Structure 1
Amino acid sequence: MIQKSVNLNELKEHINSFLEKEIYKNKNIECCPICGGKKHIKYGSYKGIQRYKCKKCERTFSNTTNSLWSYSKKDLNKWIKFVELMIKRKSLRFCAAKLKISLGTAFYWRHKILHGLKVDSIPNKLEGAVHINKTIVVENFKGCRNITTTKRSNIWIIAAKGDEDSMLVLPAFKDCWMRGIFYEKVYSKIQKGSYIVPYNDRYITAIAKEHNKKSLKERKEDDRVGYIMMNIMRWFSPYKGIATKYLEEYLSFFVLFNLDKMIDYVDIISYLSFGEKFIRTKDIGLKNK
């Protein structure tokens, strides 16, 4: 769960300490993030960040290559403040005015962050008492141009949570139940010996009976899954509609607010600063076309 009550002065001290310790300080680089080559040399620095040159592809890179804000010309502090405002679910217009950036920049920054948070958000397994529910939302074309159809499909969102502190919430299929896709995206993650707890859906209930067989266990409901429709609708309301092509990213963000572990701003900034979190602006615009 996102920890919202953070003293801002204390936050700034943590961020400055984090940046100094983890980004601007030299650290061991195992391989080239561009080609995977193991041999590289130090190649100067830029704004206090150590740079390297790969001996295999002869490309240069730094400690922050492929991080969320790679290639950004904006000050890193603005990114950090934007993350803070985004976690508070402030509107794009509010963020743009507050940070003195364009509305377009605010839009792309939000989707870069959503992409970064999505990268490792889907759990690899579901075990123990696995609660599964579904809700249906109508396809949304917000922001799309040149729409040639008036038909809007029903998008089936599947929510599943086991005993581990993670949660699977994703748009699984359109219009009707698809057993094959459910098995691929959800059931394949359920471990042997787990017990499925279904919620008011005949398809999920049928799979639960088949999986559980004669095993009977006490049913302890989880409101995060049991009331998934109400929870999603309430959480989505500040966004005034979400385009279906970005729905999976927003659902990954939604999951952070439904974990048992308390997560603060510094945890999220730390996560976004390392690893393969980068996505090019043009790839956001081309998503799902």
Structure 2
Amino acid sequence: MNGRDEARHVGQVKEVTSLTNPVVKDIRALAQKKYRDQQNAFMAEGLKLVIDALDLGWTIRTLVFGKSQRGNPAVEKIAARTVATGGLVLEVSEKVLGAITRRDNPQMVLGVFQQRWHALKDFKPAGNEVWVALDRVRDPGNLGTILRTVDAVGAKGVILVGETTDPFAVETVRATMGSVFAVPVAKASVDAFLAWRKAAGVTLVGTHLKGSVDYRTVDYKKGPILLVMGNEQQGLPEPIASACDTLIRIPQAGRADSLNLAVATGVALYEIRRHALPTIGKDMA
């Protein structure tokens, strides 16, 4: 396709039925991290997620919807918004949607968006804010669930420390239920994270199996608070654990020796927010 053809197709609604269509191939490739990185893009499934992303100012590159959605006012509206910003709109068969999403019963709407990372230096905790750092989180479902929980409790952002799973992976985005568009995310090495933490002046609270303090007994009003959670298998590495102002533990009565990372993060976050914002319990009752 030459430049003149590309210019003619940008912002136009195209009907696609072939899996060999080059645009469809590019979207399908987003299932792999290397192609997400190359294209600086990712895929989000579902009408609500696409609307949320557009409302929050994310850049949509391609909107894809099934033929059954033709005439749906909500879909037509986001198609018009996509066209207005120079994006491409594809009307496809259910077979093509299934191939893109790798699902037998796919969502009828999906969007391809430009990735958005925040610079760590732009994270400036203040007041009674709560932030979260995750060290080498590996499971996309865990990361997605944590982003959703961070959004739900009103925490301000997430720092991914070390080699972590991709927040823009299809599985992660699905697990966030749209919160990937609402929660600022930065990434950093351990050294960069520790240097930032020192300059930011946050109270660093880490969960650790060797933590001697019950998470329910800590005074979390010494904000801003940064909750740091360790890798699913290995927990917090020594450099980060040593830098914590408090190492907490979540008591367990059963035979399990640990909690799922996302569950533990949720338990700790709600307790921290309960102290930082006493009305949160009433708001969420």
Same structural fold, with TM-score higher than 0.5 when normalized by the shorter chain: no
Higher relative contact order (CA 8 A, sep 6+): 1
Relative to the length of structure 1, the TM-score reads 0.28
The structure with the greater share of residues assigned to strand is 2
